[in-house]
Amino acid sequence: MPQPIIALFGALTAAWALATPPAFAAGDAGAQTTRPAGYKPIAGDATFGGKLFKDTKLSTNGMACASCHANHGAYSDSFAKPYPHPVTMATEQLGRKKVYLDEMVQGCMVMPMAAKPLPWNSKELAGLVAYLQIQQKSFKPSR
């Protein structure tokens, strides 16, 4: 291969590596999605959370919460139960027996949306949780 092509290939590979979010090891994702010690959830604005639910800018891969969960899609029957409760994705990918709703939001941020978790005291996390609590009330399990 001629030198200019090799140099171009190397530059493109380096640029792709910088643009690609780092993969999180299972232990790291579990730690990032666990409520910190002394954490007290704040009240959120459900209207703001509903806008964020559709916002692809929260992710690094063009996904939004609504990519999986529009019209109650991809929720397991347990979504109707009060949190904390077991969630298959959290058990399988984070090794967690039970999660709170805010921890599950963080899990979705880190895993399917390939982003960093939201700050625990942020209006974004609180808004998404408030919106999901409303969604939870209208969710009908299949069983």
Question: Higher confidence at residue 13 or residue 120?
Answer: 120
Give pLDDT tens digits for 71-108.
988 998 999 999 999 999 998 988 889 999 999 999 99
**Preceding omega of 84 cis (within 30 degrees of 0):** yes
Strand, helix or coil at 99? Answer: strand
Architecture of domain 23-138 in this structure:
Orthogonal Bundle (1.10)
Q: Tell me, what's the pLDDT at 1?
A: 44
Amino acid at 19: A
Give pLDDT tens digits for 6-54.
333 343 333 333 333 344 343 467 788 999 999 999 999 999 999 999 9
Residues 6+ apart with CB under 8 A from 11: none
> 0.85 exceeded by the pTM?
no
Domain ranges of the chain: 23-138
User: What is the C-alpha to C-alpha distance for residues 76 and 99, in angstroms, rounded to an integer?
Assistant: 14
Strand, helix or coil at 114? Answer: coil
With cut-offs at 50, 70 and 90, classify the pLDDT of residue 142: confident
- Between CA 134 and CA 84, with CA 63 as vertex, the angle to 5 degrees is 40
For 70-85, the DSSP string reads GGGTT--GGGGSPSSB
Scanning the structure block, which residue is given the tokens 């005291």?
121
